[in-house]
Structure 1
Amino acid sequence: METSRKMKRGDFVTLAFAGVVAGALFLWNSTRGMAQQDDVLIAEIRQDGKLIREIDLHKIKDSKIVQIEGAITVVIEAQPGRIRFQSSECPDQVCVHTGWLTQQGQLAACLPSKTIVTI
């Protein structure tokens, strides 16, 4: 038994409303992503709670190396749009294995050297 049903006016209204809502959500999500990419991306390097350096990751053109001396020496590399611990004298290398930081809210820390990099 095959039952076919014609679409009524209310069905078209519901379908159109669902399409408008889906389109609005898509546009909102895509513009929100673009706004986040255009935001300033500033990395802060702190050692023992003190701000050592700020680097605007959108403004640098070439790779920048920052060496931080202390009980343990760490080398931090910044490139356009990203930053990382390049090397550290600490035994476990967790900070180095964290990799590149590219988004606001990310952080990497070398606890033995008391150094934290945040975006």
Structure 2
Amino acid sequence: MSTKPIAFKDIINVGDWFVIVLLVIASFSPLMIFHYTYAQSPTDQLVAYVSIDGDVVDEFILSEDTPHQLITYYPKDGQYNIIEVDGTRIRVKEDNSPDQVAVKTGWITRPGQTSICLPHRLMIEIRGKSSEEAPTDIDAY
């Protein structure tokens, strides 16, 4: 009694290959969707919003023409955050929070990115804003 080894082509047929290729293509679809969703058109400008306790206290338009700035915020007594703006990027350069999470986040440059200092309740968020659209006010009740 001799046993013949099973060939790879006998295990996987054409339908299996079709499913494998389809799954590989589908696995890259989130990457393509997010790329096109967050792609920035040339007319968009980047705006960084600095908020403390949920209230926007400052905003910066991020462009090549934006000058280098260091701004210090004092959320509460004994707390400080030094924000650095440099052209198209922004970061928390220094703060006196225990974990330094916002400092370790480093530079943020793209819409949707945030840098958050939880102990001081300070958040920097970058949003894209079309140069043609007017600012909108939203009231929630």
- Shorter-chain TM band: 0.5 to 0.7
CA deviation map 1:21-60 (0-9, x unaligned): xxxxxxxxxxx99854552100000000111101001164
Contact 1:62/1:79, CA 8 A, preserved across alignment: yes
Say which SS state the counterpart of residue 111 (structure 2) adopts: coil
What CA distance in whole angstroms lies between the structure 1 residues aligned with 2:74 and 2:87?
A: 24
Say which SS state the counterpart of residue 103 (structure 1) adopts: coil
RMSD of aligned alpha carbons: 2.2
Which residue among 62, 67, 70 is the counterpart of 2:75?
A: 70
Unaligned runs of 5+ in 1: 1-31
Say which SS state the counterpart of residue 40 (structure 1) adopts: strand
Q: TM-score, normalised by structure 2?
A: 0.57
Q: Across the two proteins, how many residue pairs are aligned to each other?
A: 89
Q: How does 1:17-56 map to 2 (within 5 A)?
A: 35-36=40-41, 38-56=43-61
Q: How does 1:95-114 map to 2 (within 5 A)?
A: 95-114=102-121
Structure 1 pair 33/95, CA: closer, same or farther in 2 (3 Å)? Answer: closer
Contact 1:48/1:115, CA 8 A, preserved across alignment: yes
1:15 matched to which residue of 2? none
Structure with the bigger percentage of helix: 1
Say which SS state the counterpart of residue 104 (structure 2) adopts: helix
Contact 1:60/1:79, CA 8 A, preserved across alignment: no
**Which residue type is aligned with residue 121 of structure 2?**
K
User: How far 1:62 sits from its partner (Å)?
Assistant: 2.0
Moved over 4 A (4+): 32-35
What CA distance in whole angstroms lies between the structure 2 residues aligned with 1:118 and 1:45?
A: 7
Please identify, of 41-50 and 64-73, the stretch whose mean Cα deviation from structure 2 is larger: 64-73
User: How far 1:66 sits from its partner (Å)?
Assistant: 1.5
Unaligned runs of 5+ in 2: 1-36, 127-141
Q: TM-score, normalised by structure 1?
A: 0.67
Say which SS state the counterpart of residue 86 (structure 1) adopts: strand
1:58 matched to which residue of 2? 63
